[in-house]
Amino acid sequence: MSNRQSIELTDDQIDFGMREALAQARIAGSVGEVPIGAVVMHEGQIVGRGYNLREHAQDATLHAEIMAISEANHTLKTWRLSDCQLFVTIEPCPMCSGAIINARVGAVYFGARDPKAGTVRSLYQLLEDGRFNHQVEVHEGIMAEAASGLMQTFFKAIRLGRGKPKPRQH
């Protein structure tokens, strides 16, 4: 038996959430980070924001989703986000999917799939796996073209040598 709660958002709320996640992704891209952004909403209000900062901080855990969840935990003064929605531009990776499950996020809305690391639809379906103690309502393809366009533009600039240089190998 699933413990998923159906969380009904209006189209305007969904558009607002994803536009805000895309704005976070643009911030990441502007500072040379992979342009992924996320926001957590509670009762129609943003309670957490995040964008990738792993290159700047040299911290593998600083993904957009982790940052947005952490800020939401602090804002709401609880680790349980079951009545919250996470909006993220790109399909979450295994680490972020684990954080989403552990935070008991109620619903995830994401833009584009990540065929190399996505664990919501592409490689695995972790958020809806009934073997975990929490399942998450999933909505995909929200403003997917805009989200994938940011990624394509970023990585094209890297390939052409106009983006952030790759870290040196030690």
Binding residues for Zn(2+): 63, 93, 96
Binding residues: 63, 93, 96
Two structure tokens written together for 87? 């909006």
The sign of the CA dihedral 112, 61, 39, 127 is positive
DSSP symbol at 164: P
* Residues 122 and 97: beta-carbon distance below 8 Å: no
Name the catalytic one among 33, 65, 71, 91: 65
65 is catalytic: yes
CA distance 112 to 169: 30
Closest to 137 measured CA to CA, from 145, 150, 129, 128: 128
Q: What angle do CA 101, 107, 110 make, to 5 degrees?
A: 100
List beta partners, residue 133. Answer: none
**How crowded is residue 152: how many other Cβ atoms within 10 Å of its Cβ?**
12
The residues annotated as belonging to the active site are: 65
